[in-house]
Structure 1
Amino acid sequence: MLRRNFLQQGALAGSALLAGNIAGASEKKQLMPDKTFNLDYAFHDGMFAAHAGKDFVEQIKFGYDKGFRSIEDNGMMSRTPEEQKRIGDTLAKLNMRMGVFVVTTDSWHWKLSLTTGKQEWKDKMVNDCKTAVEVAKRCNAKWVTVVPGNFDRSIPYEYQMSNVIDALRRGAEVLEKGNLVMVLEPLSDNPDLFLRYSAQTYLICKAVNSPSCKILFDMYHMQRNEGNVIKNIDASWDEIGYLQIGDNPGRKEPTTGEMNYKNIFKHIHEKGWKGILGMEHGNSIPGKEGEAALIKAYRDSDAFM
């Protein structure tokens, strides 16, 4: 073989090998998930539907590839047992965590209920907690959201507080046995809701005095109701069991409103938070563009190290 032909063939072979290595590396990169975040953010059904489709399991796989390691699902109790298990099995396979779901089957928590002290609502609380324990087994959940219902204008506030504490103690007894934690959520949706402030929720948790009764500190709601988010997180820290996110105004992803989530996340991380932060908000932009913007917002806000 002539030396010139040998060199030409060698060069071609080397180029092919290099191209193959580059293609292989590119393919491998596409198969590898993005890096995880400093904190554990939990997305919900529909948040990545434009990319992954309507099937929540496919959205979970997409979120995993984008670096997220938890989900939450308020409506888990309304799903079929088969779907609950399917979601739980997917999370287990991906080594992801299940965040909160709401302990109610018929939205009674948004009615005049636990504040009344009526036996029917105490029984409803206990029965729904029993159902929640069975649901949690199928989807590997550890936290469940509880809202005590609306303010009763026919009863003095102090009696209402006692009624709520009594009902929650009964629910906590059930949840303790099932290794579940109820997280009480003060809300800003309407002025009729009984539970609205972090200090009020802190008092209830101390009175219930159970490891299965903690605070769900939703930073969107607390920004609206009381402000001083970092200060109030610090004040109620030993009773906080779960955190949720949403910028204000608008209740969309971080960077879309007035809240400095980069500083808030940095503060929470420095306090040693190992729990979940639920992405309890909508997307500011529809479609794939909006989902990409949401992921970027979390990458930017999480870049505090």
Structure 2
Amino acid sequence: MNRRNFVKDNVMFSGALGLGVTGIFAQSGKSGNGEPVVPGQFHLKYAPHLGMFKALAGDDPIDQLNFMADMGFTAFEDNGMKGRSLDLQKQMAATMEKRGLEMGVFVAHEISWSKPNLTNGDTSLREKFLKEIRESIEVAKRVNAKWMTVVPGHVDLRLRKGYQTANVVESLKQASALLEPHGLTMVLEPLNFRDHPGLFLTDSPQAYEICKAVGSPSCKILFDIYHQQIQEGNLIPNIDASWEEIAYFQVGDNPGRKEPTTGEINYLNVFKHIHSKGYQGIVGMEHGNSEQGKAGEQAVIDAYKASDSF
């Protein structure tokens, strides 16, 4: 990372806001529970993505990773990692290892947003999916990832739901057999009906049922709190009910899918609850910024410090 540019940017930002990048840590001197605020002391492994701190860190992905680590984040996720060049994957992996950033999810396969994929039992589509899983295993090993996102695709309107569920379970069983020897986990992400109408996997009980049917440590739930607030609400009870099958969380506030504190979800309570249950995994910051530029990026950091102040 270019430290001179980093310092220069933060001096300018400090003059504009009276805080600077480290200002949020020193502003009050104490966290919500009265303990001294120290940069980097988050209770959970919040994982930003590329572009979230572009104004403060610059365009270069490596500079952005270094900035995340400088701000105290200990994880990173990248839906598009599979599509990045081999050289960039290796550079990012080396930077994450050097800076203590744990790699979160990337998308494991081509998601079908409008047509049946794993739901209709088409063996050619199943083989395509399994081929993509094999490719993703190599990416995961290259970037030290443990998790990859899987979305079963669109419903098949010509098949009853039970048959579709059986088709999905069979595909996931075969994928799990590929993943298990490598200690890797695909996480199934239920998506809400409003943003993604017509998809097969929509809520946490359904994901729980499928994971139980697959019966593998390589097939678990990605509980995206933004999606599930829209789809089913009742967040903490539903998290508790599906807890043993949850391997990963993602967040975004509703409405708007921006950082915590911008919508209706009480993320302070939700994060506190997840932490109290002993969660050691990653919390992916899969949302946009509510404001543009450096001020908006500072607001994201502020929001996570506030929502983590338990």
Q: What TM-score bracket applies, with the shorter chain setting the length?
A: 0.7 to 0.9
In 2: Cα distance, 1:179 partner to 1:54 partner: 33
Aligned mate of 2:47, from 8, 32, 42: 42
Q: What corresponds to 1:103 in structure 2?
A: 108
In 2: Cα distance, 1:235 partner to 1:114 partner: 26
In 1: Cα distance, 2:134 partner to 2:225 partner: 29
Where do 5+ consecutive residues of structure 1 fail to align? Answer: 1-28
Q: Which runs of structure 2 are paired with 1:84-99 in the superposition (5 Å)? A: 84-99=89-104
Q: Is 2:209 aligned against 1:203? A: yes
| Bigger Cα displacement from structure 2, 54-63 vs 146-155 | 54-63
Deviation per residue, 1:254-285 (Å, 9 max, x gap) = 00000000000110111011100000100000
Larger of the two Rg values belongs to structure = 1
Asked if the contact 1:109/1:146 (under 8 Å) is kept, the reply is: no
Q: Is 2:252 aligned against 1:246? A: yes
Asked if the contact 2:111/2:153 (under 8 Å) is kept, the reply is: no
**Given the two structures, how large is their TM-score scaled by the length of structure 2?**
0.86
In 1: Cα distance, 2:60 partner to 2:134 partner: 28
Q: What corresponds to 2:28 in structure 1?
A: none
Shift of 1:35: 2.5
Question: How has the CA–CA distance of structure 1 residues 54 and 137 changed in structure 2, closer, same or farther, with 3 Å as cutoff?
Answer: same
**Given the two structures, how large is their TM-score scaled by the length of structure 1?**
0.87
Q: What corresponds to 2:147 in structure 1?
A: 143
Aligned mate of 2:80, from 75, 78, 89: 75
SS of the residue 2:51 aligns to: coil
Asked if the contact 1:122/1:170 (under 8 Å) is kept, the reply is: no
Q: What corresponds to 2:222 in structure 1?
A: 216
Where do 5+ consecutive residues of structure 2 fail to align? Answer: 1-21, 24-37
Q: Is 2:280 aligned against 1:277? A: no
Q: What corresponds to 1:58 in structure 2?
A: 63
Asked if the contact 1:109/1:147 (under 8 Å) is kept, the reply is: no
Shift of 1:70: 0.4
Deviation per residue, 1:167-189 (Å, 9 max, x gap) = 11111111112221000000012
In 1: Cα distance, 2:220 partner to 2:293 partner: 36
Taking every aligned residue pair, what percent have the same amino acid on both sides? 54
Q: What corresponds to 1:120 in structure 2?
A: 124
Deviation per residue, 1:225-256 (Å, 9 max, x gap) = 00001010000000001001100000000000
In 2: Cα distance, 1:57 partner to 1:108 partner: 31
SS of the residue 1:277 aligns to: strand
Q: Is 2:141 aligned against 1:130? A: no
SS of the residue 1:215 aligns to: strand
Shift of 1:111: 3.6
Q: Displaced runs of 4+ in structure 1, greater than 2 A? A: 33-36, 106-111
SS of the residue 1:85 aligns to: helix
Aligned mate of 1:158, from 159, 162, 187: 162
Asked if the contact 1:165/1:207 (under 8 Å) is kept, the reply is: yes
Q: What corresponds to 1:185 in structure 2?
A: 189
Deviation per residue, 1:64-111 (Å, 9 max, x gap) = 11110100000111111111111111111112100000012x444664
SS of the residue 1:243 aligns to: strand
Letter in 2 for 1:217: F
